[in-house]
Chain A
Amino acid sequence: MTEVLETEPVRAAGPAEPTAGAGRRVRLGWPGTLALGFVLICLLIALLVPFLPLAEPNEQDLGDTLARYSADHLLGTDQLGRDLLARLLWAIRTSLFAGLTAIVVATLIGLPTGMLAGYRRGWFDTVSARIADVVLTVPALVLLLTVHTALRTGITGQMVTLGVIFAPRIYRVMRAETIRVATMPYLLAGRMSGCSHVRILWRYLLPGIRAQVRVQVSYLLGLSLLIEAGISFLGVGVESPDASLGTMLSGAAAMLASDARVVLIPAAVLSLLILSLNVIGDIESEGERRG
């Protein structure tokens, strides 16, 4: 009997969930489709690049610098005679993985704490909000530089740090979203039917705030890519000769006047990637507004 009591009302509450934003189809439109397509292609490249028949990205050929497009080098070579296509594809992998590291860390910290703070309120809310305030005051770049100089853990360590710096942003949005959703009738129904807190958080709250998670993740991933490019450009992120979208810009910046192609290709890929992520974020937020 108790078992029936536990399961039945849950099913009854199920159809109410879409009002909070879960399971709703988002209309992409053509900019959204293009953006999503570009991001997916980049992700695919990032995953598959070790298996592609490419030239060695760090191999220099000083007798063949700044070569034009040819069968050997589809995009030509850079100022050190390295194959531009190979470097570009490896750079996409390095930069995307770096950005994803930051986002995964930020989400793993920000999402549960934000949900818990918005759901339970009380002392946990107060304490976590204060911690978030403190982290938001820390100058990100100084911290990233310090991590680079002192810990020598490479880009991964820096991106984990960036994830911690981003966590309060996700925390704040998730907390606000949770407070909004927590007052909705379907959540009350869930609580009255005797669901455990864990079940409410996982099955009721999370679907309700999923749209905002996607928005934040796509914006912050774009920002992470921008920051990776920035610190690698300064020479304190991914270190040469390894290719990332930032180091490719850094080494080639001086080439802008003589052979702009070497700069413009990675710059275009980086900008398009960030642009696409922002477009995806915009679409989700519009869907949210309509709902």
Chain B
Amino acid sequence: MLTLILRQAALRAVVAVPTLIVVTCCTYVMLFSIGDPAAVVAGESATPEQVAQVRQSLGLDRSVVAQYLDWLAHAVRGDFGESLHHRGDVLGLVGQYLPATLLLSFLALAVAVLASVLMGSAVGARPGGLVDRGLGAVAVLGIAVPNFLVGYVLILVFSLWFGWFPSGGYRTPAEAGLLTTFRFLVLPSASLALGLMCVQTRTFRASLIKEYEADYVRTARMKGVSPSGVFFRHVARNASAPWVTVIGLEIGVLITGALLVESVFSIPGIGTLTLEAVQGQDFPVVQALVTLFALVILAVNLVTDLIALWLNPASRGLS
């Protein structure tokens, strides 16, 4: 079992390398062909000679292939170059903006996971019932409402009317304590979690219903296993495999959502940095961010697939 998962992990990791190379290479070529970093660095008032000089000093006059290989050689050693706008290296810059986004995403993910398990179990255990219909309607609606709008409604209700939480901004745990940071992140993570929570609830409900119809459930019931025993020991485990896979599939949506939510709540996170870097044509930062996002997407998909494999032995034969 363990060797199988390890082998699968190793295989996927090996396949991920060419994928990463192609993605970063395409991004590099695209950025290279649509803008001129030298002009950005030299400023708007620079003469063509000055731009040419900057281009030469930054090594931008070489061929795109040479530049990409140079970037790749540095990137594998963790050196993503220097930002064109901010002082200092790109990795430090990303590291500065990353914690807020990570915290926000983890909180949102935790809320979505917990809530979807509870809601999914409640509706999946008795399909067609009143709870099922009520929560089902909520879940369908939750997917349809854009999360930035949910953010504004939450601000209106919990910040402006009740005054329970701040309406925006962010304090790091180091400067204000973990509790204050948490207070700043409650509304953003709630609005980010809603969509994912609803998708997962629906997935969990569907697979629970399917599992309850299976023969092994009937066998277990006939053997005298209690309803909770059937649920926890048999059904829940098998039904969670697709639910875990959904997390992997939705991670891209979560990244997009984080950017929007950060914008609504003015949180200085990766989303803010992305918007700033793309609009300011800060190419080294954009390139590093694309690499980071691709890595996260690949890693999360790998981990969720392995968990699904561990949860559902039936899918092992297929891999």
Residues of B1-50 at the interface with A, using a CB-CB cut-off of 8 Å, are: 15, 19-20, 22-23, 26-27, 30-31, 34-35
Distance between A123 CB and nearest chain B CB, rounded to angstroms: 17
Q: Does A253 make an interface contact (CB < 8 A)?
A: yes
Q: Does B236 make an interface contact (CB < 8 A)?
A: no
Binds B, one of A19-27, A48-56, A271-279: A271-279
A137 touches B140 (CB 8 A): no
Tell which of B15, B146, B152, B255 has the most Cβ of chain A within 10 Å. B146
Q: Does A127 make an interface contact (CB < 8 A)?
A: no
Residues of B259-293 at the interface with A, using a CB-CB cut-off of 8 Å, are: 259-260, 263-264, 274-275, 278-279, 281, 286, 289-290, 293
Distance between A147 CB and nearest chain B CB, rounded to angstroms: 9
- Given that A133-B19, A149-B279, A230-B260 are contacting pairs, would A139 and B252 also be in contact in the complex, using a CB cutoff of 8 Å? yes
Q: Does B144 make an interface contact (CB < 8 A)?
A: yes
Distance between A227 CB and nearest chain B CB, rounded to angstroms: 7
> Which of A146, A234, A249 has a CB less than 8 Å from the CB of B31?
A146
A145 touches B144 (CB 8 A): no
Residues of A222-250 at the interface with B, using a CB-CB cut-off of 8 Å, are: 222, 226-227, 229-230, 233-234, 236, 249
Please, how many angstroms separate the alpha-carbon atoms of A152 and B11 in the complex?
Answer: 41
Q: Does B256 make an interface contact (CB < 8 A)?
A: yes
Q: Does A71 make an interface contact (CB < 8 A)?
A: no
B293 touches A142 (CB 8 A): yes
- Given that A142-B289, A146-B34 are contacting pairs, would A134 and B144 also be in contact in the complex, using a CB cutoff of 8 Å? no
| Chain A residue nearest in CB terms to B290 | A142
> Which of A137, A151, A253 has a CB less than 8 Å from the CB of B23?
A137
B256 touches A140 (CB 8 A): yes
Task: Classify the interface of chain A: helix, strand, loop or mixed.
Answer: helix
Number of interface residues of A (CB under 8 A): 37
B290 touches A138 (CB 8 A): yes
Distance between A269 CB and nearest chain B CB, rounded to angstroms: 11
- Given that A230-B148, A230-B256 are contacting pairs, would A139 and B294 also be in contact in the complex, using a CB cutoff of 8 Å? yes
Q: Does B69 make an interface contact (CB < 8 A)?
A: no
A270 touches B146 (CB 8 A): yes
Q: Does A256 make an interface contact (CB < 8 A)?
A: yes
Q: A residues near B, CB below 8 A?
A: 130, 133-134, 136-142, 145-146, 149-151, 222, 226-227, 229-230, 233-234, 236, 249, 253, 256-257, 260, 263, 267, 270-272, 274-275, 278-279
14 residue pairs A–B, Cβ–Cβ below 8 Å: A133-B15, A134-B19, A134-B22, A139-B255, A142-B286, A142-B290, A145-B279, A146-B30, A150-B35, A230-B260, A233-B148, A234-B259, A271-B145, A274-B144
Which 10 A/B pairs are nearest by Cβ-Cβ distance?
Answer: A150-B34, A139-B293, A275-B144, A274-B144, A145-B278, A141-B256, A271-B144, A137-B294, A271-B145, A134-B22
